[in-house]
Chains A and B, each alone.
Chain A
């Protein structure tokens, strides 16, 4: 089976055009379909093993709910009954195991215990914690360390759910954003394109008078990656210098006679192209920030959860 370096983040998308065989100058020896078959049999971690872990998670959900309802704990369910301790121990072990995905993902192995399998189990067993954790508490919540642990657990789960949602939805939008008439554009190419445009703008702006040159220079000086996290997530750049430069250049040009080979026209055209490229780049930044942002909650909240869990367990035994 042919193995081709595959890095979707860098724009490597398996299409017939980019597969090794079709770009080779030699006549194809083996059926190029091998690669395509692999592409078409791609299985998401959500559907891994025909939803094996989803079924297991549903099983955990049903079993814990059924036992919760049918096991009569007096005076009422809470973490201090034998049933509560059992669920609590399971939940604690599960949380620690789920945290280990961070360790596990740094070692990629194929097969039965592949990272995909782990991720699938991570997602579904993590969701089953909603049942285990809440039933462990017996729906008794208050302003204390125990509920803090529960709330952090829910925060981690909800942020994880958001992560799944963006992983499922945004890559398509990302590809669509990067594709245009000339094909896909990579992150590197975006920066190269920007450099090139800046160089052209710089050259084209040389004949301009000081006022116009200063306007154009502002666009060149702007760092397109400088926006705040908020600007990235919302894709809002109200102080975009390129847009301002286009407006100013056009304003200045309006008061001047039309010339042949007008430097203003050149600069205007180039700035417009830069603006279009920036729009693409910023949309890309937005999608990427969405893909990453949830982890900035998911991971720190997990560690806060582990700290809260430790306090929760120690407190129970401390005031035994």
Chain B
């Protein structure tokens, strides 16, 4: 008997080469070894893997030699009897052997075919991409689309969905969105200011309609009452626009672009910018003021305001509110243009220069009273002028605290007690004097009598007699005399006060009302607190030379001691050279929302603000009558 073995190999072109061989004998081996009848050059097959035995004409038996199983029709076996007429498929390693019967010779046939290549590298791999990262990482195109889609969904679709589902927020003061994250918050361009922090979750409170810039009606939902007059008064917005005029040049181009992009002019948010970061809203830029106020007279002829622009170069002279007549119960206050010779009529007589002198009798008096003026060689401003608790202004000067230290109103001594005329009450002054003189002339000194003990010689007696005679001669012996002296030149009242005619109760005399101004610059803000490193006379120059109380001692805009000594414009512009320039925008002194408080920019710490408010409510022009 024999076996027919057909080895099929693949050509490079894809065709098949069949090598047929007859193996004689009743037995045949299958294996890697070259001597085997069915030679399988396959490292996965034992050198002698199986023995094929012919049982009869149609049956063969295949048995594993080394015990290594092989597959018959897909099932692993180590021994199998097979009917060649039925055929079978054997698998050894990478080889598949088809069993059959040759129709002519009736020999069993073994058709051998290699199923998998002998090495991975010998397979016909597609080599175009093996050296690339293709298939190793997500493809560029795929991940590009995926990432783009993710971004578009998260940062575009979600926010728009959030917008669409919370329309009721718009123009409703009470409406709020539930706490939590809403998609359109991804669009925020920065934190809201402190004042609007509560709106951070509700974008549509301001952004009412898509693609429509924030309009004033959104602001007015809440600010109906506290918006300033530029907006609130009917027609004010139009006037504001008129004051601004038509911009030219680059500004005109910018406005044209804004308008093209549906950003109308004159909206609140042009000045009140938001999303600039947490914290207080930023101070308004000078430009927002000067856009209108620079050359406004030309555009708004009926305005009462002088043109103003940069503080350093084009600010109008100060217009302090001064007392022009203190006599009426409510003093007459008038705003005048500041000049170096400006006058204010507060009703008092006072010599600043004389009192501040370091060489005259005033200074001498100070030096002689070290318990009251410790380590002072002369009077200081603060001996009379005391700052108010806020440090912003000065308290009105009070006679009893300031003047009376030296200018005593004592007229009598009873035991160790001095009797004093009552300041501010002329009726009582007159009554007290009348009562005093009811006692008669000065008491004759005892040592003028003949029985008195005295020093030897006449000299002391002469001295006493002289004093007494002078007293009798020069001091009034009658009340009416004393009253007349008091209210006339040389008298205690006359020295400081303006004497006006009065009724019988005051001996025909009276004192004119006295008023002191606490805040001269009503439209601008000045705080002494921020200027403590300077001497008073650095700015109040004339205090050292003025001997007339009607001289207005507050400094002006420029000149020596004026504000422009230090303060320059926002951009540093100034008319004269400044040693230590302090850039001062409008907002440093001025407030759009004009009230009595400090401007937004110069607000003091909250702890101080309360006391300022208290003082302010008492009235800005603090008056003391008489």
Contact = CB atoms under 8 A, between A and B. Distances in A.
Interface of A: 72, 74-76, 78-80, 82, 140, 142, 144-146, 148, 152, 187-188, 191, 194-195, 198-199, 201-203, 205-210, 213-214, 216-217, 220-225, 228-229, 232, 284-285, 288-289, 292-293, 295-296, 299-304, 306-308, 310-311, 314-320
Nearest to B146: A300
B120 A222 contact: yes
B186 interface: yes
B210 interface: yes
B159 interface: yes
Interface string B173-189: 00000000000111111
B150 interface: yes
Given A304-B147, A317-B261, 9 more contacts: A203-B41, A206-B32, A217-B44, A303-B144, A303-B145, A307-B156, A315-B159, A315-B187, A320-B207
A307 B214 CA distance: 26
Contacts of B571: 72
Contacts of A224: 120-121
A299 B44 CA distance: 46
A311 B152 contact: yes
A210 B119 contact: no
A30 to B, nearest CB: 36
Interface of B: 32, 34, 41, 43-44, 46-47, 66, 68, 118-122, 125, 127, 130-133, 136-138, 140, 143-152, 155-156, 159-160, 163, 184-191, 203, 207, 210-214, 254, 257, 261-263, 273, 275-277, 282-283, 285, 287, 571
24 contacts: A74-B282, A76-B276, A76-B282, A80-B275, A144-B187, A144-B188, A145-B187, A198-B119, A199-B122, A203-B41, A214-B44, A216-B43, A229-B137, A285-B131, A289-B133, A289-B136, A292-B132, A296-B137, A300-B140, A303-B144, A303-B148, A317-B211, A318-B163, A319-B187
B276 A148 contact: no
Q: Is the interface of B mostly helix, strand, loop or mixed?
A: loop
Given A288-B131, A300-B147, A202 B140 contact: no
Contacts of A316: 189
B443 to A, nearest CB: 80
A213 B188 contact: no
A313 B308 CA distance: 39
A213 B155 contact: no
B583 to A, nearest CB: 12
Given A296-B143, A300-B144, A319-B184, A229 B133 contact: yes
A318 B160 contact: yes
A319 B147 contact: no
A319 B131 contact: no
B171 to A, nearest CB: 15
B235 to A, nearest CB: 27
Contact of B155 (A221, A288, A311): A311
Given A191-B127, A302-B144, A319 B44 contact: no
From B68, B149, B151, B257, residue with most partner A Cβ within 10 Å: B151
A214 B43 contact: yes
B244 to A, nearest CB: 16
A299 to B, nearest CB: 4
Given A79-B189, A220-B120, A303-B144, A310 B254 contact: no
A206 B39 CA distance: 11
Nearest to A216: B43
Given A78-B189, A311-B152, A221 B119 contact: yes
B151 A314 contact: no
Contacts of B118: 198-199, 202, 220
Nearest to A207: B47
B137 A220 contact: no
A52 to B, nearest CB: 30
Nearest to A304: B147
Contact of B133 (A208, A296, A315): A296
